Chain A
Amino acid sequence: MNEGQIELIVQKVMEQLQKRFTPDHNIARENVKEIIEKGLVFREQDWKTSIPQPAFKEGVAELTASTPARIGVWRTGTRPLTKTMLKLQFDHAAAIDAVSSEVLEKYLEEFNLFTVETCYENKEVYLKRPDKGRVLTDDAVDTISSRCQKRPQVQIVVSDGLSASAVETNLKDVYPALIDSLKINNLSFGTSFFVKGGRVACMDHIGDILEPEVLVLLIGERPGLVSASSMSAYMCYRPRKGIIESDRNVISNIHPLGTPPIEAGAHIGTVLRRMIEQKVSGVKLEL
């Protein structure tokens, strides 16, 4: 089915739905039903499978409510039921797509972010060689040297990391909240940009070039099955080559079902202000 056909169907469904509110109710309902029956509508509850005759009926809900683990799913022979299996595959599909896909330009244009690349070459090399994702290409070095303000108080960098969908899902909320929180904390910021194929330590290379007082990197995390769109904010005071992991601070698990993106954005400003006040980051920073 191509996009045109899908649009047509959507249009047709919409027309039919509108007709529901016309006086001729019954005919309209029939039409809607007919169209919906041509496709399957899957919602979260449609994946649920259950134990047909549990020994303690009321106990099932108590157990399943106590954990996000996939329990009480039942079986056929020794194998899982079809819907339980399809749900697991569906969640895994979202996670692998998040790793393999690229951030669409429109999400970056919204905040005027231009794009530079690390030496990652392609997705395969990116996964095999974490070291390459820590260094910007020569072109990237030239671009940010010429386009970015040097020695800003705060440098904001966004990167896809291991999840493009983390950027697409969260940036629209995190970024404006972060800008607001910088203003509230009386901090100024330089020229933000996007790094394709970045690893956390690309902060150090960028730090060497632009010499910001503090840098915050918003980067996609390794996707899990609960969320394939989780983002982390790594922060560092005077980032430069040779920084060790424990010199960085991080707010992780940023996604709509984890740390809410707007809250995370607001919190980052406070952490950055403290770094500037205490002239330190990482484990030594007092929050």
Chain B
Amino acid sequence: MKTKITLLNKTYQFSNLKEILAKANEEKSGDQLAGIAAKDAQERLAARHLLADLTLNDIRNNPVLAPEEDEVSRVIENSINEKNYQSIANWTVSDLRETLLSDTTTDIEITRLRKGLTSEMVAAVTKIMSNLDLIQAASKIEVITQCNFPIGYKGTLSGRAQPNHPTDSIQGIKASLYEALSYGIGDAVIGINPVIDNAESVKQILQMTKEEMDRFIIPTQNCVLAHVTTQMRAIKNGAPSDLLFQSLAGTESGNKAFGISVELLDEANDLIQKEGTSAGPNLWYFETGQGSELSSDAHHGIDQVTLEARCYGLAKKYHPFIVNTVVGFIGPEYLYNSKQVIRAGLEDHFMGKLQGLPMGVDVCYTNHMKADQNDMENLAILLGSAGVNFLIGVPMADDCMLNYQSTSFHDIASVRSVLGLRPAPYFEKWLEKMGIMENGKLTERAGDPTIFM
């Protein structure tokens, strides 16, 4: 494998693939914090030139984290279809980029290609793609999944209703849920982040959301985003959960910090298959986000884009209904400003889609990050153009429980309106029946949560 490159008269020597991958990244404060980022813009470009010229074979033969040492590496390695891989093994990363962007490469070719790709190859090509490349390539890929009802069709944009409350008040959660539904949001999932991580509390929230879904015959699915073990206890106690949720990391040690392992996920997967309340076949909701491995000191010197791609490699094993990258939640030591958040949002969406995942993005920021609501509106429109499956809907974008800002019900309705996107088909029919939407547009009644009282 080539590790040395001369650009004009200057020569750069890198020690291994891990270093090349890290230094080829767009500038991210997290890679700088880890001490693995390029020293300057020219070194970054040297790494990127070299990476563009490496073959997929080089990437597979030089694992950033050996399968013998890490179970996430093993999951990724085991998912490769050898025939598909052999047919592209001699491609350079540049060949892969140009194939993905070519007019003649359709979603069908990409479906075949992905069977031969490892997460590291996906990360590699991402590093040599511009923002518009990432949008263009992702927009070709359609990933349709079904829990109770299918979402992800081209020309649609779904929303997660995220009616969180600072004390898990059932009445308070219901109030925000009514507001979400009245704006046409909630087709991806009605998903609540609980304050109290215990089975009884999780069960109460699941029961309330299920009752509301039954009362109004809402074509969607419910979920409470507690730790997977808490949800498992709640389900065993009879809680009506359509989906299982869990946060994922891209390394075994990162997952250990989250209190999970592949074995535990397998066990949970068996449980939801047997005792979940939904039609399926897709029964998982995963969340990820660049920087989580570094924050738990589980990054093994690997850059955050590559680690994020590996999360998707792991997620793929469980055929999830939705995957969401919480792109700006972790803070400025990982993504410093809006430029970095926007880049990361587009990278994550593309990397997930290329690996066949139903990607949504929590377009968000914290108050100590150099970003504001305008930046989130920009990224929401970019992702809408890229064909994102769903966005997060929070009342006026301000989550009063998690203390960060995301996108609002108004924002999702606006992205739909500006880009001519529709809610998921069954949900749109329901909105019409409720008199909230007509011909893809909100009616006079929309925005009034009291219609559900």
Q: Chain A residues near B367 (CB, 8 Å)?
A: 92, 95-96, 98-99, 222-225, 228
A59 touches B453 (CB 8 A): yes
B residues 163-178 with Cβ under 8 Å of A?
A: 163-166, 169, 171-176, 178
A residues 36-78 with Cβ under 8 Å of B?
A: 51, 53-57, 59-60, 62-64, 66-75, 77-78
Pull 7 A–B residue pairs with CB atoms less than 8 Å apart, ordered by A.
Answer: A54-B448, A67-B169, A71-B176, A75-B446, A80-B396, A96-B372, A228-B367
State whether the Cβ of B383 lies closer than 8 Å to any Cβ in chain A.
no
Chain A, residues 131-168, CB within 8 Å of chain B (1/0): the string is 10000000000000000000000000000001000000
Cα separation A67 to B395 with both chains bound (whole Å): 11
Cα separation A226 to B372 with both chains bound (whole Å): 16
Output the least CB separation between A259 and chain B (Å). Answer: 14
Q: Chain B residues near A99 (CB, 8 Å)?
A: 367-368
B405 touches A92 (CB 8 A): yes
A128 touches B368 (CB 8 A): no
A78 touches B413 (CB 8 A): yes
State whether the Cβ of A127 lies closer than 8 Å to any Cβ in chain B.
yes
Output the least CB separation between A183 and chain B (Å). Answer: 35
Cα separation A62 to B449 with both chains bound (whole Å): 11
B373 touches A66 (CB 8 A): no
What band does the interface of chain A fall in when counting residues whose beta carbon is under 8 Å from B?
35 or more
**Are A69 and B172 CB-contacts (below 8 A) given A80-B408, A80-B410, A95-B367?**
yes
A79 touches B414 (CB 8 A): yes
B336 touches A128 (CB 8 A): yes
The A interface, classified by DSSP as helix, strand, loop or mixed, is: loop
B169, B183, B366, B450: the one contacting A60 at CB < 8 Å is B450
Q: Chain B residues near A71 (CB, 8 Å)?
A: 175-176, 178-179, 395, 449
Output the least CB separation between B414 and chain A (Å). Answer: 4
State whether the Cβ of B387 lies closer than 8 Å to any Cβ in chain A.
no
State whether the Cβ of A249 lies closer than 8 Å to any Cβ in chain B.
no
State whether the Cβ of A88 lies closer than 8 Å to any Cβ in chain B.
yes
State whether the Cβ of B84 lies closer than 8 Å to any Cβ in chain A.
no
Cβ-closest chain B residue relative to A127: B332
Cβ-closest chain A residue relative to B178: A63
State whether the Cβ of A170 lies closer than 8 Å to any Cβ in chain B.
no
**Are A128 and B32 CB-contacts (below 8 A) given A63-B175, A66-B169, A80-B410?**
yes
Cβ-closest chain B residue relative to A128: B29
Q: Chain B residues near A60 (CB, 8 Å)?
A: 449-450
Cα separation A91 to B373 with both chains bound (whole Å): 12
A69 touches B33 (CB 8 A): no
State whether the Cβ of B88 lies closer than 8 Å to any Cβ in chain A.
no
Output the least CB separation between B359 and chain A (Å). Answer: 23
Interface centre among A51, A53, A59, A78 (most CB of B within 10 A): A78
B396 touches A70 (CB 8 A): yes
B residues 408-426 with Cβ under 8 Å of A?
A: 408, 410, 413-414, 416-417
State whether the Cβ of B442 lies closer than 8 Å to any Cβ in chain A.
yes
B172, B175, B368: the one contacting A223 at CB < 8 Å is B368
Q: Chain B residues near A80 (CB, 8 Å)?
A: 396, 408, 410
Q: Chain B residues near A69 (CB, 8 Å)?
A: 163-165, 172, 175-176, 179, 394-396, 398, 400
B176 touches A222 (CB 8 A): no
A63 touches B449 (CB 8 A): yes
Output the least CB separation between B375 and chain A (Å). Answer: 12
A55 touches B32 (CB 8 A): no
B336 touches A127 (CB 8 A): yes
Cβ-closest chain B residue relative to A56: B450
Q: Chain A residues near B449 (CB, 8 Å)?
A: 59-60, 63, 71-72
Extra pairs beyond A64-B175, A70-B395 (6, CB < 8 Å):
A60-B450, A68-B400, A70-B398, A70-B400, A71-B179, A128-B33
Residue positions of A touching B, CB distance < 8 A: 51, 53-57, 59-60, 62-64, 66-75, 77-80, 84, 88-89, 91-92, 95-96, 98-99, 127-131, 162, 222-226, 228
Cα separation A130 to B291 with both chains bound (whole Å): 14
Question: Which 6 pairs show the lowest CB-CB distances between chains A and B?
Answer: A67-B172, A70-B396, A224-B403, A95-B367, A59-B450, A56-B450
State whether the Cβ of B397 lies closer than 8 Å to any Cβ in chain A.
yes
State whether the Cβ of B155 lies closer than 8 Å to any Cβ in chain A.
no
Chain B, residues 269-299, CB within 8 Å of chain A (1/0): the string is 0000000000000000000000000000000
State whether the Cβ of B447 lies closer than 8 Å to any Cβ in chain A.
yes
Cα separation A162 to B169 with both chains bound (whole Å): 29
B165 touches A78 (CB 8 A): no
Q: Chain A residues near B400 (CB, 8 Å)?
A: 67-70, 225-226
Q: Chain B residues near A74 (CB, 8 Å)?
A: 447
Q: Chain A residues near B368 (CB, 8 Å)?
A: 99, 127, 162, 222-223
Cβ-closest chain B residue relative to A225: B398
State whether the Cβ of B339 lies closer than 8 Å to any Cβ in chain A.
no
A67 touches B165 (CB 8 A): yes
Interface centre among A63, A84, A95 (most CB of B within 10 A): A63
Cα separation A74 to B447 with both chains bound (whole Å): 6
Cα separation A92 to B414 with both chains bound (whole Å): 22
State whether the Cβ of B445 lies closer than 8 Å to any Cβ in chain A.
yes
B333 touches A75 (CB 8 A): no
Cα separation A99 to B172 with both chains bound (whole Å): 30
Q: Chain B residues near A53 (CB, 8 Å)?
A: 448
Output the least CB separation between A126 and chain B (Å). Answer: 9
Output the least CB separation between A48 and chain B (Å). Answer: 13
B373 touches A89 (CB 8 A): yes
State whether the Cβ of B264 lies closer than 8 Å to any Cβ in chain A.
no
Output the least CB separation between A134 and chain B (Å). Answer: 13
Output the least CB separation between B292 and chain A (Å). Answer: 15
Output the least CB separation between B385 and chain A (Å). Answer: 17
B169, B179, B417, B451: the one contacting A72 at CB < 8 Å is B179
A75 touches B410 (CB 8 A): yes
Cβ-closest chain A residue relative to B395: A69
Q: Chain A residues near B397 (CB, 8 Å)?
A: 88
Cα separation A75 to B373 with both chains bound (whole Å): 17
Chain B, residues 350-381, CB within 8 Å of chain A (1/0): the string is 00000000000000001110001100000000
